[in-house]
Homo-oligomer: A and B are copies of this chain.
């Protein structure tokens, strides 16, 4: 692409560094910003700058936070004995959006993956252990259903084996609206093995 303006070219260049944004999409965004009021563009760039410069990580659960403790950890209404262990921020947003979970979280910052050089030291596992020692009663493992995810679950379970904590994992099975015939064999086999009495099916109770 040939630009007649260095200003436009630079902005397109910066946008194309974002994931999934090619040159054409970047140009469309830049031209849209060009059409917007100066004030709107200012509020766009300010929101991004502030986000990057002022964001903190919760000292308890490692979630992104506007202060040193996140709003979830500091909320008096939440069940502090239950901790849902997830990989990253995106998982927290997904679970929070269901509005069905009222406990706390713990963000590992990834999962164990020796091939990528991610061992227990790279993850927030020591701080999880400390939280369990401080009296957490249940760890709900909500990690990806992959070999790495399962390895991570087992590793954590071993680390807290001596402590009086219950470890559960989120249910795997056929998704709502999913067609049986397209489900993979593992999922289908497991969903039969782990079948539930019908009363559990019809009502989803808030935890």
A residues with a Cβ closer than 8 A to B are 1-8, 10-11, 13-15, 17-21, 25, 27-34, 36, 38, 40-55, 63-66, 70-72, 88-90, 92-93, 96-97, 99
Instruction: Give bound CA distance, A42 to B52, whole Å.
Output: 9
Given the contacts A44-B17, A47-B11, A3 and B66 also touching, CB distance less than 8 Å: no
The smallest C-beta distance from A108 to any residue of chain B, in angstroms, reads: 16
Instruction: Give bound CA distance, A175 to B35, whole Å.
Output: 31
Tell me which residues across on chain B come within 8 A of A41, comparing CB atoms: 48-49, 52-53
Query: Which of A6, A11, A15, A70 has the most CB atoms of chain B within a 10 A radius of its CB?
Result: A11
Closest to A58 in B: B4
Instruction: Give bound CA distance, A134 to B38, whole Å.
Output: 35
Tell me which residues across on chain B come within 8 A of A89, comparing CB atoms: 8, 31
27 contacts between A and B (CB under 8 A): A1-B93, A4-B63, A4-B64, A4-B71, A4-B96, A5-B63, A7-B47, A7-B50, A7-B54, A7-B55, A7-B66, A8-B89, A13-B47, A14-B43, A14-B44, A14-B47, A15-B44, A17-B36, A18-B29, A19-B28, A20-B28, A33-B48, A33-B51, A33-B52, A34-B64, A41-B53, A42-B52
